[in-house]
Amino acid sequence: MSWWRRLLKRGEMERHLDAELRFHFDGLVADNVRAGMSEPDARRSARLEFGGVEQVKEECRDARGTRWAEDLWQDLHFALRTLRKTPGFAIAVIGTLALGIGMNTAIFSVVNTVLLKPVHAPEPDRVVTFIATNSGGSTSSLASDIKFNLWREQTSVFEDVSGYFLSPLDLTGIDQPQRAEAIFITKDYFRLFGLPIAQGRGFTDEEERPTGTKLFEKGHVVVLSDAFWKRVFDGDPKMVGKVISLGGDPYQVVGIMASGAQTETAESPDVWVPLLIHPNSERQVHYFQALGRLKPGVTFDKANAQLRLTTQEFRRKYPKSLSTSRGDTFSVQPMQDVLVGDVRASLLILACAVGVVLLIACANVANLLLVKAAGRRREIAMRVAMGAARGRIIRQLLTESVLLAMAGVALGLALGVAGIHALLALNPVDLPRIGQNGSNVALDWRVFVFTILAGLTTGLVFGLIPALQASRADLNSNLKESSGRTGSGLHQNRTRSLLVIAEMSMALVLLIGAALLIRTLIALCSVNPGFDAHNVVTTRTTLDPRFTKAPGVNQLVQNALGRLNALSGVESAGLTGLLPLAGPFSSLPVIVVGRALDGPSHGNSSYGQVSADYFETLKIPLLRGRTFTDADRLESPQVAIINQAMARHFWPDGDPLNSQIQIARGLPGLEEPVRQIVGIVGDVHDDALTRNTLPALFVPVAQRPDARTVGSSVAWVVRVHAESPSLNSAIQNELREATGLPVPSLRSMEEIVAKSTARQNLNMLLMNIFGGSALLLAAIGIYGLIAYSVQQRTQEIGIRMALGAQPGAIRSMVLVQGVWLALIGVAVGIAAAFGLTRLLTSLLFGVQPRDPLVFVAVPVLLAAVALLACYLPARRATQINPLEALRWE
Amino acid sequence: MTQPKSDLPQGTLDLLILKVVTLGPIHGYAIAQRIQQISRDVLQVQQGSLYPALHRLENRGLLAAEWKDSETGRQAKFYRLTAKGQTELKSETESWKQLAKAVRLILESSEANG
């Protein structure tokens, strides 16, 4: 009979064993009778000879080899029965574990996707981003042609050095003109990321070399993404070789990317087009990013040493380079680090926070198991006294705690999966690398295995400790102790008290972190963005007169704004190259006419073209001078308006309104005419609300020749009386009709403002979920401990009351016990938080890491919750009936 | 039972059972009796060790069991030797004989006697 059959046919085996032994016994009796004994004598003699039947049976059962499985089954049954008798305990343990495991699984799955997963490239840890650090210490990953060419020449340390930037292109010449997300790349980009081209080929050397002298020359070949090819061209099998129109220029399709090809630099580009950089280019504009791969055997140190030499060469070669580049030092960083950027800090902190929640959860489970085991000491002593083997008892207690842990883990997994979905649904914010709608984030099995181990270990260790204690303990004292249980105060529950203190202090640290983030968000919400976002909608187009309905860009803009203003429901309409909160914008050098060129009062400024009524439309305050008017035309005197930051930075003492400036002097293709400053406007946050506004300079779009404006991307802003979907589509239609350009759907400016704080919002929300969970767990922990101690002291309390103690005195006796624990926990927590909150600095805004209000309010809150948690068992203590208490057990 | 009972050395019981069972299917009670008879009452097998040993041998696949009518007409569990049991019996008998021979050589050697 196989092992399995022996296990499953246990009943039959038992019957057979019975019959076999009975047959033997009857044989003995029969023989005895035959030998001349009377029937009763024969039986008695047989019984004597036979010995203990049960003992023989036990040994036969052992011989079956199925014993441990049967025991396990029995233990499981017993454990389930015990747990069903104490559902509160079971729910607390399982819930606590599930909470800890679920949160950790969810958060770490996101952390893994964003921070830890290597970039999608061959030899991912050797893929680097080129960085320029200026003399002020701030870094930029934007590159210019001259820098790029220099870097590309360092073939002893780098290979596949490639540049890229993202910019949408309008696809025309088909039924439904639409936007295509384009990525401009140099040809080695394909090899750098090992991108598989399914049909056709990538780019050749000739195709990425400019032929003319135009500033931004465009390529004439394109590789389509698999999805774009299928969506727009219905998967045309003869697509390679055909010509399509992108941004008004013809491009020949030379290749189609394999489906599922992943690129780390863009979410999902529709088309890959060549980025043309001439090897002898003198261009100093920073507009793309440069990547590369370290050659085999080259370390980061070696590569960076080489780049320092390159920096010197660069300065020698371009002694009159722009002030932006003058102090630059070049270096490389792992691409992954640059990609993740400042999300790293917040994700790491959230990961630590959620780890602390897991610790609290484990402490809570340990506490509950210890309390439970202590309550069963007498039961165990009784079983040992009746002959149960020690190993057997330990095994049984372990079965129970492991069963609990498994249930917690299972529920935790479910919570984790739900948590990931919730996190992504809530807000894929602008987390890098998570894919479209977070499709790259999946439950990570390593994370899950880790949390399972954490849960099981807690169950095993804290199930084992009391099991060992209880089974080893002196029977006599155990049986005796429980008959006269008095005064089992806190000194007898030292481990448990320590666990509760630890829980309280960890919870306090998390709560203080959460409170600081709440204050950050409040501070952010009170930041004045510098404009009025209410009832403003916006959309973005690329100005390209080749397929528009107006003779020139200016005419086009005038027509469109005129038609928008005429729409009913529209208050005013404007156009800008610097949409608030859409930055950071690249900057160009600005020179104040008449000042010495080496002086400190020159610098960089972002600059953009705006329509005359842009400032009025966004209600950006005019501080001095005037705004632009329709009189500022191409042929009239050239004017500019600056923001307050620029006024402060360039004219700390003087008056800007008397000054003339020139943008990009000496830069071919970028140089602007000298302009008179006519006004100063208030600062508008063009990047994040948390960052100070940088100098910005505005020029009238009407004063720029078409040659400059063609191909530039601008935002239309429209102030309406009341936002409505129908008005939005009316505006969209009007714009499309007036310009003939593809117009994306409108977005509300308020939404853009809200989105700019989305990351802080997410941080705050998650931290508060963690803090709240920690608070709940700590409250359960302290409640459990005090409730247990009240239960243990029932008899003592009964005696006290019988001797005349007032309920109030009893209540405060119990409360004091709990409050002490809470206070110690709070004190430790404050000390820890005092040291730790500094790590949060990068996530905070408008609040100090040691904000006094937070450090007072949060401990008070925690203490109050702890007091409440202790009050419940304290009240129960006063309701003890002395008579019953004395009879208890 | 005039002669003193002898305790069986470890593992010997298994060997005796296997040997007795070679004579044909036989139930537990008869095995005990057969061992007692053949050893002329020197070896008495206690039920307490007989049945666990039988079950152990059965689980190791050395014995096979079957419920059949016994000589008294009652159902009894009859054990018989499997092919695997046969091999085991042969090798165990061999090693037992060698052991016995070695023990006798030592016990009867003149040096030890002297």
- Collapsing DSSP to helix, strand or coil, A526 comes out as coil
End-to-end Cα, chain B, rounded Å: 35
Q: Most distant CA pair in chain A: distance in Å? A: 143
Q: Tell me the C-alpha distance between A591 and A670, whole Å.
A: 14
pLDDT top residue among A468 and A97: A97
- Average pLDDT on A619-646 reads 92
- Chain B residues bordering chain A (beta-carbon distance below 8 Å): 27-29, 32, 46-48, 51-53, 55-56, 58-59, 67, 70, 72, 74-77
User: Do A23 and B28 count as a contact with CB atoms less than 8 A apart?
Assistant: yes
Q: Do residues A368 and A89 lie in contact, with contact meaning Cβ atoms separated by under 8 Å?
A: yes
Residue A723 CA, distance from chain mean position: 33
Q: Which of A5, A16, A17, A20 should we substitute to test contact with B (largest number of B Cβ atoms within 10 Å)?
A: A20
User: How does pLDDT run across A714-725, given as a tens digit for each residue?
Assistant: 899 999 999 888
In this complex, which of B47, B52, B75 lies closest to A24 when CB atoms are compared?
B47
* pLDDT tops 60 at residue A781: yes
pLDDT top residue among A770 and A479: A770
Provide DSSP, A639-674: EEEEEHHHHHHH-SSS-GGG-EEEESTT-TTT----
Beta strand residue intervals within A522-649, DSSP E: 536-542, 570-576, 588-592, 603-610, 622-625, 639-643
User: How does pLDDT run across A20-66, given as a tens digit for each residue?
Assistant: 888 888 888 888 888 888 888 888 888 887 777 787 788 788 777 77
Chain B environment of A27 (Cβ under 8 Å): 29
Query: Which two structure tokens, joined as six digits, stand for A364?
Result: 């809570």
Query: Which two structure tokens, joined as six digits, stand for A727?
Result: 């008005």
* pLDDT tops 50 at residue A709: yes
Q: How many CB pairs under 8 A join A and B?
A: 58
Chain A environment of B62 (Cβ under 8 Å): none
Beta-bridge partner residues of B93: none
Taking CA–CA distances from A29, the nearest residue in chain B reads B29
* pLDDT tops 70 at residue A487: no
* pLDDT range class, residue A792, cuts 50, 70, 90: confident
- The pLDDT value given to residue A486: 42
Q: Do residues A181 and A268 lie in contact, with contact meaning Cβ atoms separated by under 8 Å?
A: yes
Question: What is the dihedral sign for C-alpha B24, B30, B31, B34?
Answer: negative
Task: For residue A755, give the H/E element and its range.
Answer: helix A749-756
- The pLDDT value given to residue A490: 45
Q: Do residues A519 and A847 lie in contact, with contact meaning Cβ atoms separated by under 8 Å?
A: yes
Q: Which of B55, B70, B78 should we substitute to test contact with A (largest number of A Cβ atoms within 10 Å)?
A: B55
- Average pLDDT on A576-588 reads 81
Give residues with Cβ within 8 angstroms of A249, minimum separation 6: A218, A220
Domains in chain B, CATH or no CATH each: 12-113 (1.10.10.10)
Chain A environment of B46 (Cβ under 8 Å): 51
Q: What angle do CA A426, A432, A435 make, to 5 degrees?
A: 70
- The pLDDT value given to residue A599: 55
- The pLDDT value given to residue A484: 43
- The pLDDT value given to residue A426: 67
Taking CA–CA distances from B54, the nearest residue in chain A reads A60
- The pLDDT value given to residue A474: 59
Give residues with Cβ within 8 angstroms of A237, minimum separation 6: none
- The pLDDT value given to residue A472: 63
Burial A472-482 (b: 16+ CB within 10 A, else e): ebeeeebbebb
Count CB atoms within 10 A of the CB of residue A721. Answer: 11
Taking CA–CA distances from B78, the nearest residue in chain A reads A20
Give residues with Cβ within 8 angstroms of A824, minimum separation 6: A501, A504
Q: Do residues A265 and A183 lie in contact, with contact meaning Cβ atoms separated by under 8 Å?
A: yes
Q: Tell me the C-alpha distance between A622 and A698, whole Å.
A: 13
- Collapsing DSSP to helix, strand or coil, A561 comes out as helix
Task: For residue A232, give the H/E element and its range.
Answer: helix A226-233
- The pLDDT value given to residue A76: 82
* pLDDT tops 90 at residue A229: yes
What's chain B's Rg over C-alpha atoms? 16
* pLDDT tops 70 at residue A431: no
Q: Do residues A290 and A151 lie in contact, with contact meaning Cβ atoms separated by under 8 Å?
A: yes
Chain A environment of B77 (Cβ under 8 Å): 16, 19-20, 23
Eight-state DSSP code of residue A261: -
Question: In A440-566, which ranges are continuous DSSP H helix?
Answer: 445-472, 475-483, 494-525, 553-566
* Amino acid making up residue A455: G
Q: Tell me the C-alpha distance between A358 and A364, whole Å.
A: 10
Task: For residue A179, give the H/E element and its range.
Answer: strand A178-185
Least trusted range by pLDDT, from A73-77, A852-856, B87-91: A73-77
* pLDDT tops 80 at residue A475: no
- Average pLDDT on A679-702 reads 87
pLDDT top residue among A425 and A308: A308
Q: Do residues B13 and B53 lie in contact, with contact meaning Cβ atoms separated by under 8 Å?
A: yes
> For chain A, what percent of residues have pLDDT higher than 90?
22
* pLDDT range class, residue A170, cuts 50, 70, 90: confident
Q: Tell me the C-alpha distance between A268 and A812, whole Å.
A: 65
Q: Tell me the C-alpha distance between A87 and A404, whole Å.
A: 11
* pLDDT tops 70 at residue B5: no
* pLDDT range class, residue B73, cuts 50, 70, 90: confident
User: Do B51 and A64 count as a contact with CB atoms less than 8 A apart?
Assistant: no
Q: Tell me the C-alpha distance between A388 and A471, whole Å.
A: 10
- The pLDDT value given to residue A488: 46
Q: Do residues A802 and A888 lie in contact, with contact meaning Cβ atoms separated by under 8 Å?
A: no
User: Do B72 and A20 count as a contact with CB atoms less than 8 A apart?
Assistant: no
Q: Tell me the C-alpha distance between A605 and A679, whole Å.
A: 16
* Amino acid making up residue A262: Q
Task: Count CA within 13 A, CB hemisphere, residue A124.
Answer: 11
Q: Rounded to a whole number, what is the distance in Å from the CA of A63 to chain B's nearest CA?
A: 5
User: Do A27 and B29 count as a contact with CB atoms less than 8 A apart?
Assistant: yes
Report the mean per-residue pLDDT for chain A.
Answer: 83
In this complex, which of B27, B55, B75 lies closest to A63 when CB atoms are compared?
B55
Task: For residue A714, give the H/E element and its range.
Answer: strand A713-720
Q: Rounded to a whole number, what is the distance in Å from the CA of A423 to chain B's nearest CA?
A: 56
Q: Is the peptide bond before A237 cis (omega within 30 degrees of 0)?
A: no
Beta-bridge partner residues of A679: A625, A641
- The pLDDT value given to residue A565: 93
* Highest-confidence segment of A256-260, A854-858, B32-36: A854-858
- The pLDDT value given to residue A105: 85
Q: Do residues A517 and A760 lie in contact, with contact meaning Cβ atoms separated by under 8 Å?
A: yes
Provide DSSP, A69-86: HHHHHHHHHHHHHHHHH-
* pLDDT tops 70 at residue A668: no
Among A859, A838, A753, A849, which Cα is nearest to A519's? A849
- The pLDDT value given to residue A497: 85
* pLDDT tops 60 at residue A549: no
User: Do B77 and A20 count as a contact with CB atoms less than 8 A apart?
Assistant: yes
- Average pLDDT on A504-526 reads 89
> For chain A, what percent of residues have pLDDT higher than 70?
90
Chain B environment of A26 (Cβ under 8 Å): 74
Distances (CA, A) of A871 to A92, A351, A791: 19, 34, 14
Taking CA–CA distances from A52, the nearest residue in chain B reads B48
Q: Do residues A411 and A102 lie in contact, with contact meaning Cβ atoms separated by under 8 Å?
A: yes
Q: Do residues A284 and A325 lie in contact, with contact meaning Cβ atoms separated by under 8 Å?
A: yes
Angle between helices A758-792 and A494-525 (to 10 degrees): 150
User: How does pLDDT run across A294-352, given as a tens digit for each residue?
Assistant: 999 999 999 999 999 988 888 888 765 544 445 678 999 898 888 877 778 778 888 88
Q: Tell me the C-alpha distance between A357 and A740, whole Å.
A: 56
Q: Tell me the C-alpha distance between A237 and A377, whole Å.
A: 78
pTM of the model: 0.71
Q: Tell me the C-alpha distance between A215 and A281, whole Å.
A: 10
Strand pairing class (A249-257; A243-246): antiparallel
- Average pLDDT on A105-110 reads 83
- Average pLDDT on A87-92 reads 83
Strand pairing class (A249-257; A221-224): parallel
Query: Which two structure tokens, joined as six digits, stand for A681?
Result: 């406007």
Taking CA–CA distances from B57, the nearest residue in chain A reads A63
Task: Count CA within 13 A, CB hemisphere, residue A179.
Answer: 16
